Structure 1
Amino acid sequence: MPTRPFQLDDLYAIHIPSDPQMSPDGRSVAFVVSVADAEKDHTRSTIWLVTTDGGEPKQLTSGPADSAPRFSPDGRHLLYLSSSDGGPAQLWSLPLDGGEATRLTDLPLGADLGVWSPDGTMIAWTATVDGAETVEDSVAARRCPVVVDDIGYKIDGLGLRKELRQQLFVLTVDGGQARQLTDGDHDHTMPVWAPDSRGIAVSMPDYSVYGTVLCPQTIAVVDVETGRLTPVTAADAMFWALDWSPDGETLLMVGSDRAGLAEPRLWTVPAEGGQAPRQLLPDHPGNHMPNWDLTFPARFTADGTRVRFGEWYLARTRVLEAPVTGGAPKELLGGTRTVRTAAYGTEAIAFVAGDEGHIAELYISDGQGERQLTRFQESNLGEVDFVAPQVRVFEAPDGQRVHGYILRKDDVEGPSPLLVDVHGGPYNAWTPALSEHFLYQQALAGQGWTVLCVDSRGSASYGDAFMQATNGDWHYADEGDILGAVDVVVAEGLADPARLVLSGFSYGGTMTAWLTTRTDRFAAAIAGVMISDHVSWQGTDAGVLTSEWIAGGPLREVYDRLTDRSPIAHVGKVTTPFMILQNEEDLRCPMLQGELWFQALRAQGVRARLVRYPEVTHFALLGGGAPSYPRDAYQRLMDWALEHTAAASDSSDTER
């Protein structure tokens, strides 16, 4: 079959499987398929079923917004979320032996993921509840001043919390009414049933202390009959409940015994509380909340002696198994692939994984080997020749070893234009596995560019010390890792020093701005949802801990250091043509941050362009909103890069 490079319109052909769930008998897997709908400009999600022997996948729901399938314990019904009627998501139940789906909830603000009780008689879920006593009170509150007494009063994607809180509900399946089990000022999230169906573990974030990012999280157990809530972990720790041991005596958790920045690890704690948590693998270096995704499961095995879990290590995610009593874990899935999520049967594991040349698909691994259960990319993108990354290790100027990768077609000769892409976070990491995000990298590589991605200091999945290496010294601590890698790529003859372009989103956008204050070597720069001023950023939903990360202390003590680490403090040094992509409803990196940078550049005569995306929040440009927005942002990034490197190329040709 003839092949061709990836093009941005191929974004609409990508089908992404996610959230696999094994049936109780192990014979089938339910999963979600998401695809961008160009005509209606939204991401369509539907629920599918496939047999584990490798049969043809079957679409169960029509969408356009169905998710979170969960089998009943007897395997006869599939619980799922749907907002396909245009309202907020509600819980539905689909009989798998035939018949129409039944809507189970009708909540004003919708429901979250539902979980069957082990005995199959009840369903638990959390839902956002408005604490205003009546609808009239809620409407009136929108016209009144908002009174705020604590930090954490706003969340990107939600807006002002006001009286909105997440509460726990249960429903008796056999004709019962929904009951709200929790109330009060706390949120209650991620319900996990006890094996005897008499208790539910929930995680309770406390936004009032630090804000909404890495705040304290208490685990408590709710008695299903009485609603009595018993805290299990300390109020200053940060844990999320994941599973109960089969005997009901132990809870499996992920997080840290202190709130704030730390690589999340697996812990156990007695379900009745009263004892300190025990870290499961204290000497193992991985991050056990892969990609900061709380939906990646960790589970006890059926006999309770082992735990299966995902681990994010050296920018890849694998599945491991470890004894509960301690000891070295063994790898069950991984290798050169990146596992995006998994579902654990008694022995089999259903999982979604991708590698350097293939977007993720659904697989099954069991005693008979491993089988691929979906082939969406082969069917829809079979003629696309994706550029596989070359994994590299660079040495920073101070000798620190830093991982990264290079995208470059094999047939490209001599120095090419170079895109240096900086990841967000900074407590994140690039993955060498092909992802549906950041595919402008593939589009540029297909046109003969080289793309450089560096996991500089501060990146997650390389151990806690590496992730914390930028603490108190943002930008200064990690700039050399990126610029040093650029020096290597130029010295190797892969990149034309006159055609270097810098880009990044979120922290990557902020670092893009910072690096243009430190060097004029880049022909152009593109920053998405950036921060320009770290002092004013302290007022966002990210919370007050950010001053600790950036400058090493609370705002009152490190104001000058925060100012010095703000790109805007050094904007007078910038000469690089700069494009800013900013979202108007972003509470994490607000529009004002991009506006400030844009106006400062224009005031000093630097060519700059500001692109404003209306009605979307922080992650919309990376696939969290209407598909047209990332498509538009990626095209603008490429056009800006091509325009400014073309001028440099013409100049180089004239000199030759």
Structure 2
Amino acid sequence: MSKTRITAEDLYNISMVSDPQFSPDGRRLAYVHTRIDRQSNGYKSAIWLASLDGERLRQFTAGDKRDTAPRWSPDGRWLAFVSNRGDDKAGAQIYVMATDGGEAHRLTDLENGAGEPRWSPDGSRIAFTSRVDAEEKAGEAENENETPADPEEAERRAREKEKREKERSDPRVIDRFAYRAETSYFDGRTSHLYVLDVDPGTGRAAGKPRRVTDVERDYRDPRWLPDGSALLAVAGRKPGEDDIFYHSDLVRVPLDGGPEELLTGPETEDASPRPSPDGRWIAYQSLPVPELSAANVEIKLIPAGDEGGEPRVVTGALDAHADDISWSPDSQSVCFLAGRKGRYELCRVGIDGGPVETLLSAEREILAYDLSPDGLQAGFVASTDRAPWDLYVAALDGSREERLTDVNGDWLADRVLAEVEDLWFESSDGTRIQGWIVKPPDAGPGPAPLVLSVHGGPHVMWSRHEASMWHEWQVLAARGYLVLACNPRGSDGYGRDFRASLIQHWGEADLGDLMSGVDQVVARGLADPERLFNTGGSYGGFMTAWVIGHDQRFRAAVAQRGVYDLISFYSTSDIPLLTEWEFDANPWEHTELLWRYSPLAYVENIHTPLLLIHSENDFRAPIPAAEGLFVALRRLKREVEMVRYPRDGHELSRSGEPKHRVDRLERIAGWFDRHLERD
């Protein structure tokens, strides 16, 4: 049987693997397998187990809804996880299941759901987060000794809660700087730390969850100190100190009732606290607040004891972001992921700093990993341009590597895939730029129509194995388009100076980089200069509109979820201070500057047919900017259409409603097809 090309509808065939977790004995990996469900127009996830010594793969949970965040008990007998299999109104709850099989039992029954479980070192407690407001906190004390409600009483409470929620948001009263995020408004609740006693013998709850934080701010990512005496966590700034939800500190929360201790200060943005196995150190990620856009994310160490001490940087030799920290079992080094030159690599550095050692590096994108308990292996999820989202295990000394899953192998066996070719080129000023071209399968002789695909961020890094773009690039190539993607100036992965060169210069150096890439591909005879198209999302949407406002060579363009007016962006986005980080500017003092770097300012220069794609609940790059660009182009009688997706937000292309994702891909390719031949 002949193979067929990939289509937008193949989204429903794609499976994804995530969150690998080694068992305490190092013989198995738990992971999450997510599939896209056409019937429910949503996603379903199951937890699977991969045996490293024979049995191979076993589905552990049914996956009828979404089972995520598998976490082994220290003795390996139990697997705790989060699932929305119960009452949808209550949110996802924590369940526990014996690792040798059986039925899962529910540990939590919280009104607003429960977050990722974290077992205490002795396996007798689980820490997690849950969101509450002042009224619900008061109710916790009243209900401390209450027996579980019968079904009728539980239903009555659910109805009362639903009524309260409607009243709470009608009207909405806003009294804080940041009041919405992603696709929803803040509801007056904050995320707090809870601890639940668990019977290690039965895996069942031994009492009710106990809230261990009380300050009105959001807490996340709880981690146990090795002696079980306290939790480390990331804490948002207190209201009145810095009411911006994306700034954070590290805190230590003692479990004997004492006050929490602030571990870091307001001059840095800090996250991911990881205590060393010997209890002496806390490793964490840190960024200087004045340089959030320019600086590298560093790994710092502080003493874990009461004596305190100044933080010290251990990744000073690394000119890249350091992410996803893990300790070696002997507490002498930390491992992390680093993105460099289109690859995400697993690296290691000693606690005294010094040179950074690369442990795993190959032509792939490592998305997540976990170290084995003995520190000799890594289980990791990686994508390649031939096989997206699979689970691997590798010895850190390089002696062995094995691919454990092939979750997309069956359906891909019947598809013809586009080939990806590396492309390094010189920009107009001689700067070397890394890119890739995705070639149409079985392309005939002569140059092909070209789609320039531009990444968002602006400070992110794409790879030839980019999991988030794999399907889109394959769909466009299957329709006969040559796709050009690259990492222009401002991208991560090429050092601090390369990233920082875009600050206060949006659309300048990177425009030259992008156009030089197009020129290179045209000069090689691969792309037809009369059939050029461009698209991108977020900052890529900004650049799509910017390009056609400054260059007339493109036949059609699709701008997605973009920022087109930096003045209004400041007051409507859920990250308003981006303009201060990137331009050191605000709208009332620097109106002219922000307007000069807004694509809307150049609307009269836009003659390229433009399709605008935007989600109605996008609070990152809100839809009024797209509406403004659309109305201006219509008033100027230019060819423009706008597609609005209800309910979805900024993550439409990656995790939006599947029906919308398929429709979006069809509209992008269809818009280019419509303008493929000149009238």
TM-score range, shorter chain: over 0.9
- The answer as to whether partners of 2:541 and 2:561 remain within 8 angstroms in 1 is yes
Distance verdict in 2 for CA 1:55–1:99, change over 3 Å: closer
Write the deviation string for residues 248-284 of structure 1: whole angstroms up to 9, x where unpaired. Answer: 1210101224352232121111124743211112021
Does residue 304 of structure 2 align to residue 271 of structure 1? yes
Partner of 1:36: 36
Secondary structure, counterpart of 1:329 in structure 2: strand
Distance verdict in 2 for CA 1:585–1:410, change over 3 Å: closer
- The answer as to whether partners of 1:418 and 1:495 remain within 8 angstroms in 2 is yes
- The answer as to whether partners of 2:234 and 2:273 remain within 8 angstroms in 1 is no
Partner of 1:160: 185
Does residue 595 of structure 2 align to residue 563 of structure 1? yes
More moved, 487-496 vs 605-614:
487-496
Partner of 2:650: 618
Specify which of 319, 330, 354 is matched with residue 285 of structure 1. 319
Partner of 1:205: 236
- The answer as to whether partners of 1:11 and 1:436 remain within 8 angstroms in 2 is no
Partner of 1:312: 339
More moved, 48-57 vs 127-136:
127-136
Distance verdict in 2 for CA 1:137–1:632, change over 3 Å: closer
Q: CA–CA distance in 2 between the matches of 1:638 and 1:84? A: 37
Write the deviation string for residues 67-90 of structure 1: whole angstroms up to 9, x where unpaired. Answer: 000000010111100012334111
Unaligned stretches of 5+ residues in structure 2: 140-160, 200-205
Specify which of 457, 471, 482 is matched with residue 425 of structure 1. 457
Specify which of 488, 498, 504 is matched with residue 466 of structure 1. 498
Partner of 2:665: 634
- The answer as to whether partners of 1:29 and 1:49 remain within 8 angstroms in 2 is yes
**Which structure 2 residues correspond to residues 516-595 of structure 1 after superposition, within 5 A?**
516-595=548-627
Partner of 1:193: 224
More moved, 344-353 vs 266-275:
266-275
Deviation at 1:410, TM superposition (A): 7.0
Deviation at 1:52, TM superposition (A): 1.0
Distance verdict in 2 for CA 1:84–1:356, change over 3 Å: same
Distance verdict in 2 for CA 1:40–1:162, change over 3 Å: closer
Partner of 1:292: none
Amino acid at match of 2:507: H
Partner of 1:491: 523
- The answer as to whether partners of 2:93 and 2:115 remain within 8 angstroms in 1 is yes
Does residue 351 of structure 2 align to residue 324 of structure 1? yes
Secondary structure, counterpart of 1:218 in structure 2: strand
Deviation at 1:185, TM superposition (A): 2.2
Secondary structure, counterpart of 1:593 in structure 2: helix
Distance verdict in 2 for CA 1:144–1:450, change over 3 Å: closer
Partner of 1:67: 68
Specify which of 521, 532, 537 is matched with residue 505 of structure 1. 537
Secondary structure, counterpart of 2:501 in structure 1: helix
Secondary structure, counterpart of 2:424 in structure 1: strand
Secondary structure, counterpart of 1:623 in structure 2: helix
Deviation at 1:10, TM superposition (A): 1.8
Q: CA–CA distance in 2 between the matches of 1:525 and 1:137? A: 46
Write the deviation string for residues 183-205 of structure 1: whole angstroms up to 9, x where unpaired. Answer: 23211111111111111110112
- The answer as to whether partners of 1:192 and 1:241 remain within 8 angstroms in 2 is no
Q: CA–CA distance in 2 between the matches of 1:246 and 1:28? A: 21
More moved, 174-183 vs 115-124:
174-183
Q: CA–CA distance in 2 between the matches of 1:254 and 1:230? A: 18
Deviation at 1:21, TM superposition (A): 0.5
- The answer as to whether partners of 2:419 and 2:441 remain within 8 angstroms in 1 is no
Deviation at 1:207, TM superposition (A): 8.3
Distance verdict in 2 for CA 1:438–1:335, change over 3 Å: closer
Partner of 1:122: 125
Amino acid at match of 1:352: V
Deviation at 1:380, TM superposition (A): 2.8
Deviation at 1:411, TM superposition (A): 4.7
Amino acid at match of 1:253: Y
**Which structure 2 residues correspond to residues 253-272 of structure 1 after superposition, within 5 A?**
253-258=284-289, 260-261=292-293, 262-272=295-305
Secondary structure, counterpart of 1:228 in structure 2: coil
Q: CA–CA distance in 1 between the matches of 2:513 and 2:226? A: 49
Deviation at 1:507, TM superposition (A): 1.0
- The answer as to whether partners of 1:49 and 1:59 remain within 8 angstroms in 2 is yes
Q: CA–CA distance in 2 between the matches of 1:21 and 1:523? A: 48
Q: CA–CA distance in 1 between the matches of 2:172 and 2:387? A: 52
Specify which of 107, 123, 136 is matched with residue 104 of structure 1. 107
Partner of 2:379: 350
More moved, 51-60 vs 587-596:
51-60
Distance verdict in 2 for CA 1:227–1:110, change over 3 Å: farther
Q: CA RMSD in A?
A: 2.0
Q: CA–CA distance in 1 between the matches of 2:242 and 2:586? A: 11
Report how many aligned residue pairs link the two structures.
Answer: 637
Partner of 2:134: 131
Q: CA–CA distance in 2 between the matches of 1:147 and 1:584? A: 20
Amino acid at match of 2:435: G
Partner of 1:365: 394
Q: CA–CA distance in 2 between the matches of 1:145 and 1:329? A: 50
Amino acid at match of 2:377: A
- The answer as to whether partners of 2:441 and 2:477 remain within 8 angstroms in 1 is no
Write the deviation string for residues 501-525 of structure 1: whole angstroms up to 9, x where unpaired. Answer: 1101111111111111101111001
Q: CA–CA distance in 2 between the matches of 1:573 and 1:144? A: 42
Partner of 1:94: 97
Secondary structure, counterpart of 1:241 in structure 2: strand
Secondary structure, counterpart of 2:5 in structure 1: coil
Q: CA–CA distance in 2 between the matches of 1:321 and 1:55? A: 31
- The answer as to whether partners of 1:550 and 1:565 remain within 8 angstroms in 2 is no
- The answer as to whether partners of 2:539 and 2:562 remain within 8 angstroms in 1 is yes
Q: CA–CA distance in 2 between the matches of 1:236 and 1:68? A: 32
More moved, 60-69 vs 544-553:
544-553
Distance verdict in 2 for CA 1:387–1:138, change over 3 Å: closer
Amino acid at match of 1:567: P
Write the deviation string for residues 134-175 of structure 1: whole angstroms up to 9, x where unpaired. Answer: 757655432345031x32222123x22241211111001121
Specify which of 169, 177, 185 is matched with residue 194 of structure 2. 169
Q: CA–CA distance in 1 between the matches of 2:266 and 2:512? A: 39
More moved, 18-27 vs 350-359:
350-359
Unaligned stretches of 5+ residues in structure 1: 290-296, 652-656
Q: CA–CA distance in 2 between the matches of 1:320 and 1:147? A: 44
Amino acid at match of 1:256: L
Q: CA–CA distance in 2 between the matches of 1:211 and 1:510? A: 28
Q: CA–CA distance in 2 between the matches of 1:434 and 1:358? A: 11
The alignment's TM-score, normalised by the length of structure 2, stands at 0.90
Q: CA–CA distance in 2 between the matches of 1:235 and 1:154? A: 22
Identity among equivalent pairs (%): 32
Distance verdict in 2 for CA 1:147–1:626, change over 3 Å: closer
Q: CA–CA distance in 2 between the matches of 1:497 and 1:44? A: 44
- The answer as to whether partners of 1:529 and 1:581 remain within 8 angstroms in 2 is yes
The alignment's TM-score, normalised by the length of structure 1, stands at 0.93
More moved, 600-609 vs 81-90:
81-90
More moved, 356-365 vs 605-614:
356-365
Secondary structure, counterpart of 1:589 in structure 2: coil
- The answer as to whether partners of 2:570 and 2:586 remain within 8 angstroms in 1 is no
- The answer as to whether partners of 2:385 and 2:470 remain within 8 angstroms in 1 is no
Does residue 341 of structure 2 align to residue 338 of structure 1? no
Amino acid at match of 1:426: P
